[in-house]
Structure 1
Amino acid sequence: MAWVLEDGRPIYAQLVERLQVQIVSGAYPPGGKLPSVRELAAVAEVNPNTMQKAFAELEKSGLIITQGTNGRVVTEDERLIQGSKRQLAKRHADAYFAGMEGLGYTRAQAAEFLRAAEGKGEAEDE
């Protein structure tokens, strides 16, 4: 099944984020071998050159390492993986707060909305 990609954002950037999520969530464990560029490009239904660009970005960040002809593996550096996880979480939190501010909520109200949703299964409006 093809990966769902958004219009309006560079495809390679979305691939980078998708692969980061898979790495930090353990779908690709530390030291684990990644599928080839061509295999992942086929799964995502994107051009292999676009997937190669995403892999290059992940290599620059240190999350993946090329092992010559043996392909690519996920770093074993847990601190780097956890740092990437925090970075992704912050990006998602910032997007949430920006969306809520667009609806007229303050950051404090948006945070309270989350607390209420977690405690009751559904947040109540004030």
Structure 2
Amino acid sequence: MAELFNPSVPIYLQLCERIKNKIIRGEIGMGERLPSVRDLAIDSGVNPNTVQRTYRELEETGIVEKKRGQGTFVTEDPAILHQMREELKASHITLFVSEMREMGYSETEMLDGLKLYLDRGHV
């Protein structure tokens, strides 16, 4: 089934983010094999070259590694995965704070809102 993509962001970058999020959520574990280029292209409804670029991008950042004749695997280096997790957290926080500032919220209001949200168990 073809996935929906944001037309203003390159598809390969959106696939990278989706794979990173699956790794962070534990849907894809350390050392686990990713789908073949062909399989992911079919599942996502994109050109195999787009998936190749996605895997190449993830490989350049060390998140995945190719094993000749076996496929592409998530790294088993916990430091790389920790760094990826921290970068994604910082990215989401930056977006949240930026949007809240655009709406006129102060830092105190943001912190109070987050505390109230978390205290109510919305985790």
Tell me the TM-score normalised to structure 2 length. 0.90
SS at match of 2:28: coil
Q: Which amino acid aligns with 1:100?
A: M
- Unaligned regions of 5+ residues in structure 2, if any? none
Measured in 2, the distance between the counterparts of 1:107 and 1:47 equals 44
1:43 has 2:43 as partner: yes
Measured in 2, the distance between the counterparts of 1:56 and 1:77 equals 18
Measured in 1, the distance between the counterparts of 2:23 and 2:5 equals 18
- Partner residue, 2:33: 33
Q: Which amino acid aligns with 1:37?
A: V
Measured in 2, the distance between the counterparts of 1:62 and 1:32 equals 14
Q: Provide, for residues 5-40 of structure 1, a one-character-per-residue CA deviation record: whole Å limited to 9, x for no partner.
A: 222111111111111111122211111111101111
Q: How many residues align?
A: 122
SS at match of 1:6: coil
- Partner residue, 1:12: 12
- Partner residue, 1:107: 107
- Unaligned regions of 5+ residues in structure 1, if any? none
Q: Provide, for residues 32-78 of structure 1, a one-character-per-residue CA deviation record: whole Å limited to 9, x for no partner.
A: 11110111111111111111111101000111010011111111001
- Partner residue, 1:62: 62
- Partner residue, 1:74: 74
Measured at CA, do residues 115 and 2 of structure 1 come closer, stay the same or move farther in structure 2, by a change above 3 Å? Answer: farther
Q: Which amino acid aligns with 2:94?
A: D
Measured in 2, the distance between the counterparts of 1:7 and 1:102 equals 24
- Partner residue, 1:83: 83
Tell me the TM-score normalised to structure 1 length. 0.88
**Shift in Å, 1:121:** 5.7
Measured in 1, the distance between the counterparts of 2:32 and 2:120 equals 39
Runs of 4+ deviating beyond 4 Å: none
Measured in 2, the distance between the counterparts of 1:85 and 1:5 equals 22
Measured in 2, the distance between the counterparts of 1:14 and 1:97 equals 22
